[in-house]
Amino acid sequence: MNATVIGAGLAGTEAALTLASRGVKVRLIDCKPKVMSAAHSNPDFGEVVCSNSFKSDDIDTASGLLKAELRLLGSKLIKVADSVKVPAGGALAVDRKLFAARVTELVKSDPNITIECKTVDKIDFDEPTVIATGPLTLDPLGEFLKSAFGESLYFYDAEAPIIAASSLRTEHTFSASRYDKGADYINCPMTKAEYYEFVAELLRAERAKIGEFEKGEIFEGCMPIEVMAGRGVDTLRFGPLKPVGMADPSTGKMPFAVVQLRKEDAEGQMLNIVGFQTNLKFGEQKRVFGLIPALKDAEYYRYGVMHKNMYIDAPKTIDKYLRIKAHPKCFIAGQLGGVEGYVESIGSGLVAAINMSRTLCGREPLELPRESMIGALMQYLAIAKGNFQPMNANFGLLPPLMGDAERRDRSGEKANRKVELAERAISAIKAMKNV
C-alpha cells in the first residue's frame, strides 16, 4: 500500500507517522528547508508557529478532552508533546525547538516514510493523497486548490512576541499560576494608572499594513490585542490581562491587571507574552509593551506579526471522514481543512490517516462517536451551515446530555456538566473497536 502526504506540519507529520505505523509506504513531500513561508523559521518538520501552548490539559476543558481522546487513539505528536513539555500550570506547553526536532527525527527514522523536498504545483486526485499544506499554502499549489475547489476562504491570524527572560525587570514580577495551579507563569502586575495608559497608547499605536483588511476577517480565537482593546477599555482586564485567581506577594492583593509570560523553552530563556498576538509595527510593540513595568527593557527574539490564512469551505468540499467529496481517494487535513488550533490540526491528521489506511485495505472509514470531541469536530466540518468559519474544539459541538437542564449531583447542587460530557466522550472512544 502506498500513499502521499503533502505538507510536513502538525497534521501532515501526524498523518505520515500514523499511516507508516499501519504498514503504508508514505511519500512525504514538503518544501522545507529549500522554501519557507513568511511565518516559518525552523527547517524542522512539525514547527509550532504562533504559540508554544497546546492549551489546557484539564479534562473538563475542550482542549484537554480532545488531547485525552487523541492519546487513546494513539496520536504520535501528542506523545511527543508530552515528552517535551515545559511548566505551564494546567496547560500543555512545549519546548518548540525540541518538539520539532523530535517530530523530524521520528519521521526521518521511519523505514516506511520517504521524504521529498520540493514545491508541489498540483494534486493527482487519482492517487491516495493527504493534503496538509496548512493555512499558508504556497503558490502554485494555492492557485491550483482555488481552481479545484472554488475561491478559497481566508482569515487573518496573529502571533505573539517572544522576549528574552534575562531582559525582564524582575522586581516588577512574581511567579504563579491562576488558582494556585503551580508557579509556572511569570506575572507582570499593573496598577490602574499603568493599565489605562497602556490601553490608551495601544489604541493610538501604528499598525503594520497587510493589504485588504476587514474586521470580519479576523479569527476570534487569535484576536490581535489592539483589536481586542478597541472593544472596550476594560476588555483586556476580562481577557488575557485578567488578574483573578492570584495575588501579588508584594501587596497581598489581586493586581488591577496582570500580563503573563510563559516559557518557550525548557530552560526558560525565551518567554511568550501570553495573549499578545498583534499587528503593531515592530517599533510600536517595543514602545507600547514597554509601558508594562516588567517589560520596560524587554529584548525581543521575535516581534508579533499578522498574516493571511487560507482554508477551504469544508462542508462543500469534504465529508466527516475528511475525504474530498469529488475525489474520494484524497483527504484534506489540518488548518487548510477548516480546523483551528494545534491539537485540532493533529487530530485531523490522525483521522485522515486512519481513514486512508482503512480505505486502502478495503474497509469502511472510521465512524467516530458523535459524543466525542474529535467526532463532533469532524461532524461540524461536514455539515456546518451558513458562513463557514474555522473551528476550535469546544463543548458547544457536543450533543447535550439527557435531561441536561435538570442534572444535579447527590448533594442537590448543579452537576459539573463539562465533566459529565468529558466522561461520556472518553467512554465512547474507549468503546470503539478495530480502529
How much is the pLDDT for 156?
A: 74
Helices (H), 138-294: 141-149, 192-204, 225-229, 282-289
How much is the pLDDT for 219?
A: 59
- Rounded Cα distance, 351 and 338, in Å: 14
How much is the pLDDT for 413?
A: 45
List pLDDT tens digits, range 168-187: 999 999 988 776 676 788 99
CA dihedral over 51, 54, 58, 61, signed as positive or negative: positive
- Rounded Cα distance, 398 and 375, in Å: 9
Beta bridge partners of 156: 218, 308
- Rounded Cα distance, 186 and 432, in Å: 42
Q: The domain 2-154+309-397 is classified under which CATH number: 3.50.50.60, 3.30.1330.20, 3.60.10.10, 3.40.50.300?
A: 3.50.50.60
List pLDDT tens digits, range 92-125: 999 989 999 999 999 999 999 999 999 999 999 9
Q: Do 315 and 385 form a contact (C-beta atoms < 8 A)?
A: yes
What CATH code would you report for 162-304? 2.40.30
Q: Taking the chain, what is the end-to-end CA distance rounded to the nearest angstrom?
A: 18
How much is the pLDDT for 216?
A: 45
- Rounded Cα distance, 15 and 425, in Å: 23
The domain spans of the chain are: 2-154+309-397, 162-304
How much is the pLDDT for 306?
A: 81
How much is the pLDDT for 284?
A: 96
How much is the pLDDT for 218?
A: 60
- Rounded Cα distance, 289 and 164, in Å: 14
Per-residue pLDDT 10s for the chain (435 aa) are 999 999 999 999 999 999 999 999 999 999 988 877 766 678 899 998 877 889 999 999 999 999 999 999 999 999 999 999 998 888 899 998 999 999 999 999 999 999 999 999 999 999 999 999 988 888 899 889 988 988 677 777 778 898 999 899 999 999 887 766 767 889 999 999 999 999 999 999 999 876 543 444 665 566 899 999 999 999 999 999 999 888 888 888 999 999 999 887 777 888 999 999 999 999 999 999 999 999 999 999 888 888 778 899 999 999 999 999 999 999 999 999 999 889 999 999 999 999 999 999 999 999 999 999 999 999 999 987 767 878 889 888 898 887 654 444 444 444 588 899 999 999 999 999 888
How much is the pLDDT for 373?
A: 96
Overall residue count recorded for the chain in this entry:
435
How much is the pLDDT for 305?
A: 81
Beta bridge partners of 186: 175, 261
Beta bridge partners of 271: 163, 263
Beta bridge partners of 129: 4, 330
